[in-house]
């Protein structure tokens, strides 16, 4: 009988779980879901605020995530015909806020200066400790510090980056790490959920009905939809692609403003409509719905990309490795599809020098969690990796705030 284990990427917006044969590392099944805590806030700051002001809300968020992860585990077992009682091990990686909520730990050390997790090493539990049935031993990844958590450790563990490599997990709690010799300089930029389709007027996860590609071909708009049915919304990667395309065509100005129809010479002018007192660009219109890129959507992407870019520049200064000297860039995140490096250059996250050294690693944190289970070394490699992290705080630092403001606009074409 195979050695069965459960791997979990505990994201702020989206959750991913897989069942693996940890003797071979083979993935047997995978599933995803939205984080049920999202009704208490789209990002970690909102959820921290809600939880520290109400013990009842914190308990509810803890119960919600424990129940949802267990539901996903049972779903994976149904998919594979495996009994949950036969799954002997689980490993969970998330950012510090998500891991604290899962474990039911006090949150004040994270919510207020000096913004430190209560535990920096991994946590070993039994299933009953998370109010789960079954027999699994559970390992929750280390949290190096600040808002840099187990998901970043898992991503780096799976990616195995070389020196002078920048690793980006462009999720709601955007984590960045720059490898410099034996040190890993890391930080977290509160990008918000725009890259994952959250906080967008028509955003959705990459499920059937989600637009997952947007191309401007002359005067025509070409869309791809997951499942090839009627569009229901747009996933994060397609929203980035759409904004990059509209910037390239001059429909969006460098300051983020959507131009009026009268300022657009092509037939695409007919797609500019009024929405909540501002311009919006219609990607799709039918009798049931309008799927739009709104002025506020563009603003959400500007805020997200500026936070990520400012974080990159801070790490570059701290590590003394400038962007043009990077050897590799490894990108991951729950965008819905591959996020191309040239789109990130167009919106102002990447430099020209970074385009040709970037590779995309799908499900970076989940893949790293699976690898840790397959190593069968009692997670000693993970613990040693976490000790190499040097966490650089961004919140309230003047250099980050200055760089954030400098990077709000899109680059001039």
Please give the pLDDT value at position 336.
58
> Taking Cα atoms as reference points, which of 316, 333, 334 lies closest to residue 325?
316
Residue 347 is inside which H or E element, if any?
helix 341-347
> Taking Cα atoms as reference points, which of 188, 249, 164 lies closest to residue 44?
188
Can you give the length of the chain in residues? Answer: 413
Residue 236 forms part of a structural domain: no
Please give the pLDDT value at position 195.
79
Residue 297 is inside which H or E element, if any?
helix 295-319
Residue 134 forms part of a structural domain: yes
Report d(CA 146, CA 186) in Å as an integer.
Answer: 10
Please give the pLDDT value at position 315.
95
Residue 148 forms part of a structural domain: yes
Please give the pLDDT value at position 209.
94
State phi, psi for 208 to the nearest 5 degrees. Answer: -50, 130
Report d(CA 286, CA 13) in Å as an integer.
Answer: 29
> Three-class SS string for 189-211?
EECCHHHHCCCCCCECCCCCCEE
Prediction pTM value: 0.90
SS3 101: helix
Residue 122 forms part of a structural domain: yes
User: How many domains are there within the chain?
Assistant: 1
Residue 86 forms part of a structural domain: yes
Residue 199 forms part of a structural domain: no
- CATH number, residue 60: 3.30.420.480
* Domain coverage including residue 126: 4-159+364-387
Is the dihedral angle over the CA atoms 95, 96, 97, 100 positive or is it negative? positive
Question: Which residues have a Cβ under 8 Å from the Cβ of 249 and sit 6 or more positions away?
Answer: 216, 266, 268
State phi, psi for 206 to the nearest 5 degrees. Answer: -80, 75
Cβ 166 vs Cβ 308: under 8 Å: no
What radius of gyration, in Å, describes the C-alpha atoms of the chain?
21
CA distances from 329 to 7, 124, 162, 166 (A): 25, 32, 10, 5
Cβ 333 vs Cβ 349: under 8 Å: no
Q: Where do the DSSP E strands lie in 83-158?
A: 87-94, 123-126, 137-140
Residue 319 forms part of a structural domain: no
Please give the pLDDT value at position 337.
60
Cβ 123 vs Cβ 351: under 8 Å: no
Cβ 62 vs Cβ 101: under 8 Å: yes
> Taking Cα atoms as reference points, which of 191, 130, 176, 106 lies closest to residue 332?
176
> Taking Cα atoms as reference points, which of 332, 317, 330 lies closest to residue 394?
317
Residues 78, 84, 90, 93, Cα dihedral to 10°: 40
Please give the pLDDT value at position 413.
63
Residue 28 is inside which H or E element, if any?
strand 26-34
Q: Which two tokens stand for residue 324?
A: 């043009």
Question: Which residues have a Cβ under 8 Å from the Cβ of 120 and sit 6 or more positions away?
Answer: 142, 143, 144, 145, 386
Q: Which two tokens stand for residue 207?
A: 């499920």
Residue 335 forms part of a structural domain: no
Please give the pLDDT value at position 23.
83
State phi, psi for 287 to the nearest 5 degrees. Answer: -65, -25
Each of the 413 residues of the chain gets a pLDDT tens digit; together they read 678 999 999 998 889 999 999 888 899 999 999 899 999 998 888 999 999 999 999 999 999 999 999 999 999 999 999 999 999 999 999 999 999 999 999 999 998 888 899 999 999 999 999 999 999 999 999 999 888 999 999 999 999 999 999 999 987 778 999 999 999 999 998 777 777 777 899 998 888 999 999 999 988 999 999 999 999 999 988 999 999 999 999 999 999 999 999 999 999 999 999 999 999 999 999 988 999 999 999 999 999 999 999 999 999 999 999 999 999 999 998 765 678 899 999 999 999 999 999 999 888 999 999 999 999 899 999 999 999 999 998 877 889 999 999 999 999 76
Please give the pLDDT value at position 338.
74
Report d(CA 126, CA 134) in Å as an integer.
Answer: 9
């Amino acid at each position: 009988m195979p050695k069965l284990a459960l791997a979990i990427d505990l994201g702020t917006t989206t959750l991913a779980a897989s069942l693996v044969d940890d003797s071979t590392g083979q993935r047997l099944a995978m599933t995803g879901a939205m984080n049920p805590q999202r009704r208490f806030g789209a990002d970690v700051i909102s959820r921290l605020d809600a939880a520290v002001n109400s013990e009842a809300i914190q308990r509810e968020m803890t119960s919600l995530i424990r129940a949802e992860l267990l539901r996903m585990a049972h779903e994976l077992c149904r998919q594979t015909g495996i009994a949950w009682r036969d799954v002997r091990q689980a490993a969970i990686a998330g950012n510090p806020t998500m891991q604290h909520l899962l474990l039911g730990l006090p949150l004040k050390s994270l919510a207020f200066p000096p913004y430190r997790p209560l535990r920096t090493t991994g946590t070993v539990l039994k299933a009953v400790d998370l109010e789960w049935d079954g027999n699994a031993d559970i390992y929750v990844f280390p949290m190096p510090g600040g808002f840099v958590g187990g998901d970043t450790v898992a991503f780096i563990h799976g990616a195995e980056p070389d020196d002078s490599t920048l690793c980006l997990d462009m999720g709601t709690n955007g984590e960045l790490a720059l490898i410099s010799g034996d040190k890993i300089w890391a930080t977290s930029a509160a990008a918000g959920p725009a890259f994952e389709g959250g906080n967008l007027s028509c955003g959705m996860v990459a499920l059937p009905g989600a637009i997952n590609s947007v191309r401007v071909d002359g005067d025509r708009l070409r869309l791809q939809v997951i499942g090839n049915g009627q569009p229901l919304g747009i996933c994060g990667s397609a929203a980035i692609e759409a904004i990059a395309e509209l910037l390239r065509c001059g429909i969006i100005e460098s300051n983020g403003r959507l131009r009026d129809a009268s300022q657009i010479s092509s037939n695409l002018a007919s797609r500019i409509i009024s929405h909540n007192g501002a311009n919006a660009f219609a990607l799709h219109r039918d009798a049931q719905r309008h799927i739009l890129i709104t002025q506020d959507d563009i603003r959400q992407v500007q805020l997200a990309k500026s936070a990520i870019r400012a974080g990159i520049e801070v790490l570059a200064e701290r590590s003394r490795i400038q962007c043009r000297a990077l050897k590799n860039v490894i990108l991951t995140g729950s965008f819905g599809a591959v996020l191309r490096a040239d789109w990130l250059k167009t919106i102002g996250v990447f430099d020209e020098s970074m385009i040709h050294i970037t590779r995309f690693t799908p499900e970076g944190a989940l893949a790293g969690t699976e690898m840790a289970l397959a190593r069968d070394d009692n997670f000693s490699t993970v613990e040693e990796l976490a000790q190499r992290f040097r966490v650089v705080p961004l919140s309230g630092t003047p250099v980050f705030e200055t760089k954030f403001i400098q990077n709000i606009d899109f680059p001039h074409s």
